[in-house]
Amino acid sequence: MGFISDSLNRIQPSATIAISNKAMVMKAEGKDVIGLAAGEPDFDTPDNIKEAAIAAIRAGKTKYTAVDGIPELKKAICAKFKRENGLDYKPSQVSVGTGGKQVLFNALMATVNPGDEVIVPAPYWVSYPDIVMLAGGTPVFVDCTVEHGFKLQAADLEKAITPKTKWLILNSPSNPSGAAYARAELKAITDVLVKHPHVWLLTDDMYEHLVYDDFEFTTAAQVEPKLYDRTLTMNGVSKSYCMTGWRIGYGAGPEMLIKAMSKLQSQSTSNPSSIAQWAAVEALNGPQDFIPANNTVFKKRRDLVVSMLNQAKGISCPVPEGAFYVYPSCAGTIGKTAPSGNAIRSDEDFVTELLAAEGVAAVHGAAFGMSPFFRISYATGTDVLEDACKRIQRFCGNLR
Ligand SMILES: Cc1ncc(COP(=O)(O)O)c(C=O)c1O
């Protein structure tokens, strides 16, 4: 028996964090590296939010709080769900965690037993399968092809459901593809779930506010009220409010589930940072006008990146509806040879050679369960993005 637990041996460290770290190390060595692997906005946290945190510190709000959130934050979250999603939740139906990741972790660890299946549409956010496996469950991947805009199709969902299915995880707008489900597309999915009452739905709405071209965001519990009693609607302040380092995420759902999640959190981290919770109260209750302002910038960058990537030889980049990622195909580069003399046999080879030749760090699609693609985060300055895309064009042009 090894010292490290079997459950830990089942999982992998986050590929996105690993690549970001590799780019950071290369930069520290003085290499000219552009990191497009990190999943966080480059914008600073708005001042009113920072001030709320400073005020909380000064007022001595620096002690333990209720495990799954202060009443003021739960109230702000309930108001947010009502205002933005038309959803009625009581504070007792809300759980606040240390980032959206902990909320997801709590929900899966609190409910998944060995043998349970969790449907994960691919391409997926890197952490879903590993958390499912840590809990002893089996991730069941359903390919969502580029032809279907990387979105789960009702017929494919129907085929994937078995008596062992516990959850479907739905992420819109998606990390890594940026794909977001329109109301009718969501309804097609929820219609399937209505027929299978044993399947719960976890909607990861982390990128809710980051949608472009007048796309109207909707979430499943709003589209299909029949699913309200078996849906965990997850969200957080990390992305929309530029608060990735503050570590506040939340979920709302049936009280029974929320209580179970709180029980687990009480024996792990206890409450999320008291100061960050007060900052999140201000984020949700305060002015929201910086969100559309940021989105105008994000949209311009998205359009720039999509256009420039589509001019790179062998790359084909769809236009995503939201988030701050593009997920281009590098199928046209497979089988070619990089300037190093190494063959490009996979998307992993593509990103490795791209980093070596041009110092651009992107994440290979295999990390998100769909190849041959790669993910680029455009949450960085326009000049940097332009430079990075020129380097990608040059790299692709130099492949033989
Ligand atoms: C789809 C998705 N869900 C959840 C999270 C986790 O967010 P947080 O930083 O609040 O833990 C991320 C962060 O990258 C994400 O991309």
Decide if pLDDT at 169 tops 90: yes
pLDDT, mean of residues 70-93: 98
User: What's the whole-number average pLDDT of the chain?
Assistant: 96
Counting atoms of ligand 1 from 1, which one is nearest the CA of 104? 4
> Distance (Å, rounded) from C-alpha 286 to C-alpha 289?
9
- Ligand 1: distance of its center to the CA of 384 in Å? 24
Burial 321-346 (b: 16+ CB within 10 A, else e): bbbbbbbbbbbebbebebeeeeebeb
Vertex 347: Cα angle to 345 and 350 (nearest 5):
75
Counting atoms of ligand 1 from 1, which one is nearest the CA of 101? 11
- Cβ < 6 A, ligand 1 pocket: 39, 99-101, 125, 171, 175, 204, 206, 236, 238, 244, 249
Query: Residue 251: which pLDDT band, with cuts at 50, 70 and 90?
Result: very high
pLDDT digits (tens, 9 = 90+) for 294-333: 999 999 999 999 999 999 999 999 999 999 999 999 999 9
Q: Which of 17, 98, 125, 244 to mutate to test the pocket of ligand 1 (most atoms within 8 A of CB)?
A: 125
- Ligand 1: distance of its center to the CA of 40 in Å? 9
Counting atoms of ligand 1 from 1, which one is nearest the CA of 244? 9
For residue 210, which of 175, 185, 186 has the smallest C-alpha distance?
A: 175
pLDDT digits (tens, 9 = 90+) for 170-203: 999 999 999 999 999 999 999 999 999 999 999 9
Q: Which of 177, 238, 325 to mutate to test the pocket of ligand 1 (most atoms within 8 A of CB)?
A: 238
Query: Residue 110: which pLDDT band, with cuts at 50, 70 and 90?
Result: very high
> Distance (Å, rounded) from C-alpha 193 to C-alpha 161?
9
CA distances from 145 to 128, 189, 318 (A): 19, 16, 12
**Sheet arrangement for strand 117-122:** 94-97, 249-252, 231-236, 200-204, 165-171, 117-122, 138-143
- Ligand 1: distance of its center to the CA of 337 in Å? 35
| This model's pTM is above 0.85 | yes
Query: Residue 11: which pLDDT band, with cuts at 50, 70 and 90?
Result: confident
